[in-house]
Amino acid sequence: MIGFTLLGTDGAARRGRLATAHGTIETPAFMPVGTAATVKAMRPEEVAATGAEIVLGNTYHLMLRPGAERIAALGGLHRFMNWPRAILTDSGGYQVMSLSALRQIDESGVTFRSHLDGTRMALSPERSIEIQRLLGADIAMAFDECTPFPATEDEARRSMELSMRWAARSQAAFVDRAGAGLFGIVQGSVYPDLRRESAAALAALGFDGYAVGGLAVGEGQAAMFAVLDKTVPALPADRPHYLMGVGKPADIVGAVLRGIDMFDCVLPTRSGRTAQAFTRRGTVNLRNARHGEDPRPLDEACACAACAQYSRAYLHHLARASEILGSMLLTEHNLRYYGDLMRDLRGAIETRSLADFAAGFAALQAGGDVSPLES
């Protein structure tokens, strides 16, 4: 069992604290993605220095390589990857649908061929929960089908109802232990009635937290926010709310305004490896020629190594030369930006000034990042 304390609110936004076997997480919180037991281009202590108190590991990838039983024999995922803080593991359902070949789905679960070597494998709610237990996750996720987008309402209903049956089986398979919990996942595509029905089914089962899945899959921000407007009020207020796979800074701010407490996304780390940096004045592409002679820091308000010790011109050089240091510095910067954003959101909720913060955030992002060479 994990504990969640609601410390304050500002409108629908919530300031909370989540207690796990490996420490507390101040919410709203962003979870860096450590798909294969590593946050790419970062050492664990560097990840922690960005403000992260929890990371995400991936059931699908870790079951394929190096294997859940091997990780368990080596002391569990925390020891294996040298991360002493909390870990959430996703169920593997999304990756089975998006990466594996020749997959077949039925009531029992999914059979598929590994995207690595074609080996035929199976994943069921019970096996997904077993893998997450072997990994030693502080927060495990119920096994679900990520409904493809677009989907008709009938297709979305069939998918959602299957996920609800799998959620009940996931809960039955979960072995409760101190400081660990299981989250259910709301599905239903962009259909409000299905989302509310899914939320009610999960609430009746009683999970330690509730995730909203199946978004950020191409529906657009307006549709995503419309789904959240209908879904989040149907979730138990005394449990954490997690929006899976989101996202962009503006998406995070909008979702916090709607009552979301937790986020994960590959965007800050993937962008760091492709020379994209998030700043308080918008996104910067360090490959652009206009940065080649720019002596300014990337973001003058940021205390990360990339901003404190290097110029945009140098970061541009690293990006154009495909130097590994460029990926390392920009990944650290992006995760620090996300950590700072979450800290500022928490502070704004505490002082009940979130509306002003959100307006200021939007104004800065709209203003863009202008080089002296263009002014």
**Residues 65 and 198 occupy one common structural domain:** yes
Write the single-letter amino acid at 110: V
**Residues 143 and 207 occupy one common structural domain:** yes
- What does the mean pLDDT of the chain come to? 95
* CATH number assigned to the domain comprising residue 191: 3.20.20.105
Look at residue 373 and tell me if it is in a domain: no
Give the tens place of pLDDT for each residue, 13-35.
Answer: 999 999 999 999 999 999 999 99
pLDDT attached to residue 99: 67
What strand order describes the sheet that includes 13-20? 3-10, 13-20, 23-27
**Residues 200 and 292 occupy one common structural domain:** no
**Residues 160 and 247 occupy one common structural domain:** yes
**Residues 120 and 18 occupy one common structural domain:** yes
**Residues 58 and 185 occupy one common structural domain:** yes
Look at residue 238 and tell me if it is in a domain: yes
What strand order describes the sheet that includes 120-123? 101-106, 109-113, 120-123
Q: Is the pLDDT of residue 374 over 90?
A: no
Give the tens place of pLDDT for each residue, 81-138.
Answer: 999 999 999 998 888 777 666 688 999 999 988 888 988 989 999 999 999 999 999 9
**Residues 249 and 286 occupy one common structural domain:** no
Look at residue 375 and tell me if it is in a domain: no
Q: ∠ CA(50), CA(20), CA(231), 5° rounding?
A: 85
pLDDT attached to residue 101: 61
Residue with tokens 């937790």: 262
Determine which one of 10, 90, 144, 251 is catalytic: 90
Residue with tokens 């990840």: 47
Give dist(CA 242, CA 361) in Å, integer.
22
pLDDT attached to residue 224: 98
Name the domain boundary from 218, 244, 264. 264
**Residues 224 and 344 occupy one common structural domain:** no
Is 90 annotated in the active site? yes
**Residues 233 and 209 occupy one common structural domain:** yes
Name the domain boundary from 264, 296, 325. 264
**Residues 276 and 259 occupy one common structural domain:** no
Look at residue 231 and tell me if it is in a domain: yes
Give the tens place of pLDDT for each residue, 184-206.
Answer: 999 999 999 999 999 999 999 99
pLDDT attached to residue 373: 38
Look at residue 213 and tell me if it is in a domain: yes
Look at residue 114 and tell me if it is in a domain: yes
Nearest CA to 210 among 249, 244, 160, 180?
Answer: 244
Q: ∠ CA(292), CA(293), CA(297), 5° rounding?
A: 90
φ, ψ of residue 20 to 5 degrees: the values are: -130, 175
Domain limits for position 339: 272-367
* Residue range 365-375: mean pLDDT, rounded: 59
**Residues 161 and 259 occupy one common structural domain:** yes
Look at residue 51 and tell me if it is in a domain: yes
Instruction: Please tell me the total count of domains within the chain.
Output: 2
Q: Is the pLDDT of residue 368 over 90?
A: no
The CB density around residue 87, as the number of other CB atoms within 10 Å, is 27
pLDDT attached to residue 371: 47
Determine which one of 208, 251, 261, 264 is catalytic: 264
Q: What percent of the chain has pLDDT over 90?
A: 90
* Residue range 242-250: mean pLDDT, rounded: 96
Give the tens place of pLDDT for each residue, 253-308.
Answer: 999 999 999 999 999 999 999 999 999 999 999 999 999 999 999 999 999 999 99
Look at residue 327 and tell me if it is in a domain: yes
Residue of higher predicted confidence among 374 and 355: 355
Name the domain boundary from 230, 246, 264. 264
Judge contact between 29 and 262, C-beta under 8 A. Answer: yes
**Residues 168 and 91 occupy one common structural domain:** yes
